[in-house]
Amino acid sequence: MFEVQGFRRIDGPAGTLVLLAAPATDPPIRLELSYRVRRRLLARVYHLRVRLVRVGLPAVIWADDATSGLSAARSGEVAPFVVEHKVTGVVATSSQLEVKGPGAAFGERLAAGLRRSGALERLRAALDLEEFRIEWAPASGEIRVTVGPYPGSYLYMIIPPVHYTVRLKPAEVEALIVFFEEFGRS
């Protein structure tokens, strides 16, 4: 389904499908699709994970260096941080972005930029999310955005023997790609 959107397959680690966007996008968008397996007593659930990997931090982090008191000349000087989306309430009525790690001040800037842009809220409106996480790894110079949607999952039950796939709809794939493009341009 992603191939229809202009992505092509490239070699990746075992168990992971790696897709690269058409060269027209700058910076290039690299997506990694994999499944996280959860074992239950008589069932296994395979949850889809879509990860965007890009080199360098988004520009929103550097937007207000002069006024914030935070400054870093290069991305390598920013300590690692993690931004996670937490949902609360019985029907996911409330959500927040939680920032952790030694570089949390820069992670807060990224979270504020996501809130201002509304990109995450548009993604949440189009797609039920089980997981949303942004990680900055200064050693590799990569930022990794992991989205775990409920659609795209696969359920295998032993007793009774049931196989069930929750398919991603074309509109949901489009919402994922639009989010990753917006994030990639920021």
Q: What are the tens digits of pLDDT across the range 17-75?
A: 666 665 555 556 677 888 888 888 889 888 888 888 876 666 555 555 444 444 444 44
User: Per residue, what are the HEC states of the chain?
Assistant: CCHHHCCEEECCCCCCEEEECCCCCCCCCEEEEEEEEEECCCEEEEEEEEEEEEECCCHHHHCCHHHHCCCCCCHHHCCCEEEEEEEECCCCCEEEEEEECCCHHHHHHHHHHHHHHCHHHHHHHHCCEEEEEEEEECCCCEEEEEEEECCCCEEEECCCCEEEECCCCHHHHHHHHHHHHHHHHC
The overall average pLDDT reported for the chain is: 77
pLDDT class for 133, splitting at 50, 70, 90?
A: very high
Task: Give the pTM.
Answer: 0.77
